[in-house]
A = this chain, B = another copy of it.
Amino acid sequence: MIQGFGTGASMAGRLKEIAVDASAPIRTHMRLADLETPALLLDAAKMRANIARMNAAMARHGVALRPHLKTGKSVEAARAMIEGWPGGVTVSTLKEADQFFAAGFRDILYAVGIAPNKLPHVAALTRRGADLSLILDSVAAAEAVAAFARAEGLTLPVLIEIDSDRHRAGVAPDDVGLLTAIASRLADGAELRGVMTHGGGSYDAPGADRIAAHAELERSGTVRAAEALRAAGFACPVVSVGSTPTALFARDLTGVTEVRTGVYVFQDLVMAGLGVCAVDDIAISVAASVIGHQPERGWLITDAGWMALSRDRGTQTHAIDQGYGLVSGHDDLIVISANQEHGIVADRHGRPLDLTRFPIGTLLRILPNHACATAAQHDRYHVLDGGEDALQVWPRFGGW
């Protein structure tokens, strides 16, 4: 995936704590100014500060963190996130499970409802030694998993997904009949490991109080469901909740055994718009070059279009709409329009822009609306850690 760079010299001493395997990152000695644009940049110091903040929040609650690795899809970023925790992680694809298992992660929760066509892949990972747990929210899926596990002679761990805020999938927390029906079907072949929810509704709830209310929906819904299952005679050791907003703003996690959260590692403009972080906390950006001017319209044309930024418009409904991204260091310059390999940058209020300040070739850094979506458009991070004259490359992967 990484072309045009030598694999090479040893890591800088300061990176040793976040990249255990010194052979993985590629030190390029390339300068930021020489990078071919568009390219994805990662500020490692900001990433470490974001990780430290989440770790501190979990320490206050005394609850384990099971980081979600879908944002970074990077072994180096994952190692930084897992430091100090027992080692359980969350993934959104079996490709992530493959990659992170190969990198030494064993306790992996695949947090998307299982489809039957993925069970052979699950079995292969399990046989290779992964402790891979699945989620589901229906009797039909429970029967499919249990029947497959029996036929294969495996015991597959499963969590029941709970719909704590009615935003997507899961069993209603008080639907005891459905919860126990699923648990019964799992008994012969699978292992009911617990319940889980994702309070994704918190992404529509700006401000500490509204986010905290969503966190309490997550907590109370999963704890009630777990208690109902236990009352019906099912062991339900794990109560798993999480989203980046609720993880940081939860006021009480009584009864919760672990928190899953992912985007905190990089943060983004959606999180900033919700009040979850500051714009200055955002650890990734897309390096773009000015390739043209349209003086009459006050436009800078850049070479970072939606292929580099993603089509995510997650701030569209926020108080501050950041277009397709905000130009770092310029509070009112946003990407107002994006084609495949073109981004149009202009003043957010339509005010005239002095284009002579941005000659052809000027390097801009575009902050992402949604870190998961923007990072997904790239196959590597150019890591700034120790200055702009010694970039490292961290590979990242995509696909299924």
- Could you tell me which A residues sit within 8 Å of B by CB distance? 33-39, 70, 92-94, 112-118, 121, 136-138, 140-141, 144, 161, 163, 166, 168-170, 200, 289-294, 297, 301, 303, 306-308, 310-313, 337, 339-342, 344, 359-361, 372-373, 376-379, 398-400
Highest count of chain B CB atoms <10 Å: which of A70, A136, A137, A400: A400
CA distance A144 to B360 in the complex (A): 9
| CB contact under 8 A between A117 and B34, given known A301-B169, A360-B140 | yes
Q: A-B pairs with the 9 shortest C-beta distances?
A: A311-B311, A115-B289, A113-B291, A116-B361, A140-B360, A92-B341, A112-B341, A169-B301, A169-B292
User: Contact: B360 with A36, CB < 8 Å?
Assistant: no
CA distance A289 to B114 in the complex (A): 9
| CB contact under 8 A between A292 and B92, given known A118-B36, A306-B373, A373-B306 | no
User: Contact: A92 with B400, CB < 8 Å?
Assistant: no
CA distance A257 to B166 in the complex (A): 57
CA distance A378 to B140 in the complex (A): 29
Majority DSSP secondary structure for residues of A touching B: loop
User: Contact: A113 with B36, CB < 8 Å?
Assistant: no
User: Contact: B342 with A169, CB < 8 Å?
Assistant: yes
User: Contact: B168 with A38, CB < 8 Å?
Assistant: no
Taking a contact as CB atoms closer than 8 A, the residue among B92, B114, B341 that contacts A340 in the complex is B92
CA distance A200 to B341 in the complex (A): 13
Give the Cβ gap from A147 to chain B, nearest Cβ, in Å.
Answer: 12
Taking a contact as CB atoms closer than 8 A, the residue among B37, B297, B303, B398 that contacts A379 in the complex is B398
CA distance A372 to B307 in the complex (A): 9
Can you report 12 A-B residue pairs in the complex whose CB atoms are below 8 A from each other?
A: A36-B117, A92-B341, A112-B341, A116-B289, A116-B360, A116-B361, A141-B360, A169-B292, A200-B339, A311-B313, A340-B373, A379-B398
CA distance A117 to B94 in the complex (A): 37
Taking a contact as CB atoms closer than 8 A, the residue among B38, B113, B342 that contacts A292 in the complex is B113
CA distance A115 to B93 in the complex (A): 36
Taking a contact as CB atoms closer than 8 A, the residue among B37, B93, B341, B378 that contacts A341 in the complex is B93
| CB contact under 8 A between A361 and B115, given known A168-B344, A310-B311, A311-B311 | yes
Taking a contact as CB atoms closer than 8 A, the residue among B37, B292, B361 that contacts A137 in the complex is B292
Residue of B with least CB distance to A118: B36
* Residues of chain B lying within 8 A (CB to CB) of residue A93: 307, 341
User: Contact: B168 with A339, CB < 8 Å?
Assistant: yes
User: Contact: A301 with B141, CB < 8 Å?
Assistant: no
CA distance A200 to B301 in the complex (A): 15
* Residues of chain B lying within 8 A (CB to CB) of residue A169: 291-292, 294, 301, 342
- 11 further A-B pairs in the complex, CB-CB below 8 A; given A37-B400, A112-B341: A37-B115, A92-B307, A93-B307, A113-B292, A115-B289, A115-B291, A116-B289, A168-B342, A200-B339, A311-B373, A376-B377
Taking a contact as CB atoms closer than 8 A, the residue among B37, B39, B301, B399 that contacts A378 in the complex is B399
CA distance A170 to B344 in the complex (A): 13
User: Contact: B293 with A138, CB < 8 Å?
Assistant: yes
Residue of B with least CB distance to A94: B36
CA distance A360 to B307 in the complex (A): 33
* Residues of chain B lying within 8 A (CB to CB) of residue A301: 113, 168-169
Residue of B with least CB distance to A303: B115
CA distance A112 to B289 in the complex (A): 12
